[in-house]
Structure 1
Amino acid sequence: MFSQQKEYTVQKLASGLCHGKSTRWQAGKLYVSDMIGEKVYSIDAAGHKTVIALQPNKPNGLGFLPNGDLILSSMLENKLYRYRPHAPVGDNLELYADLCGLFSGYIGDMLIDDNGRIYVNDVGARIFEGEGLKPGRIGVVEPDGTCKVGLENCHFPNGIAITPDKKRLVFAETFLEQLSTVDIVDGQLVNRRIFLDMTTVFASEEDRAFKRGCVEGLTVDAEGGLWLCVLHAEQCVRVDTEGNVTDRVHIPGHKVVACTLGGEDGKTLFISASQIKGTHKNLFEALVARDIEATIFTTRVAVGRGDARP
């Protein structure tokens, strides 16, 4: 199953975030949602951070409409907002879609397709308010603003992508340690099946004890290969269209959370990884205590960004 792994040189691009989610590359800049820091940033090629929006209800998923408009989520409200770049920070968001009536948990990751249709995750449970895990769903926001449920019974849906042929949607079910896929037919999500059982990728007794197959964010390259942020394994893993591991990028001592491809030639992999501070036992404790710090790393890859989303 495994091919020869190559060595990667990882460099620090930016630091000082709390927990960077939903990394996106657009028009020469990286955009990242700092969920715990309650801000959305743009980061230029030199690593300079700019706060472009404040989101006191925790931003999470980000995406760009075909016309270039940035849509960002308000996690605790279950609403999407359009960013207005020429308005002052703090007063530059306008309501785009309200998913309160459809979602039972929080908005997670999301993407926007070439037609402006938004696929957005509901993690299912309001875990920051003490609710136990339960299945969520994938919501669909049509370009006319209509909101509907596209897929039910998703177990903590997380990273989400559309394949280069535009025919399939792939998403992580984090705590099931698997990737699932569905066909896209006229905006409908059908024929759900498991794409990759991550427990076969991380199969040792120690891996299983620490659930190292949990995937958070992901992105897809021009060949349809998926870069997966494997949360507890401290690495980004690339799998090909058959589910075979081809590459690994290690980020020791960090929880790997989000990634995307970009840069001038599309061959820079941007990785957001968080480091737990203090004596917290797990990531969730550190998030609740806001005792966590995220760094954006970069590395160069062989296969660049293609026409897939995000």
Structure 2
Amino acid sequence: MKKFIALLLPLAVAASFAPATVAQEKTALVPLPSLDDFTKGQDGWALGLGAGVEYESAYEGSDEFGFEADPAGALQWRSGDNIFYFAGEALGWRGLRDDVWLFEATVGFDEGREEADSDDGYLNGMGDSDEGAEFVLQARRAFDADWRYWLDGRVIASEDGNIGIFGVGTRFGEQLDGTGHELSVVAVYHDSDRANKDFGVNAAQAAASGYNQTYIDSGIRSVGLHYNYRTYINDNWLVFVEGLYEHYSSDVRNSPIARGDYEAELGVGFIYMFF
């Protein structure tokens, strides 16, 4: 969180000297509440900064929940059907093609996991996993140009393994500005490297923690629901709500790291758009 703020605040100061374009309409690149677009349909720079509060699992597989404050927003630059963005620890590009294809490429970071993430000591002896780079490639295909229904495929690749996310979703309402409600059904696949990073217990960890040594094959990680809501209070203030529920597969549930059968989170927050 501190790193996000330290990176974004200098950009906010620099961007404040950029020429502003008065928005005549609020047409998002893709009218989906799950995709931030602060450009209001205009080419050039856009900046949104805000904060949110999430009630979420302490770590993946945890049955401990708590509140966490997180920054929100991004610095964006739009040119036609392309948006380049910087959001703290993520640098990426998003592009619309033929009105029904959306492609996205992002370089970001996985924050890793620490023993201290469990207040009840369930991670004692498991050691800490360091933050690492992640590369995200995504493609969405709408059934029509208004993006009422779509298919989604995403790959998250890192040196610690890979995750594939596949889903189908729908949005509600007639807005084209990225506000309204959105709901999607997703299936998450992980390879064996990523599965064992998050839920496996190797020999050294077993000896230190007392857990049984556990190896997890590649396969389905979870199935679940994702919900997003966005609405404007006025021309500059945006309020958002995000919810997630994913039910783990039997292989994951059999891991001693998975204290619960599911992962869930609910977040609310606001963003102020400068341009």
Name the TM tier (shorter chain).
0.3 to 0.5
Larger Rg: 2
**TM-score, structure 2 as length reference:** 0.34
**TM-score, structure 1 as length reference:** 0.31
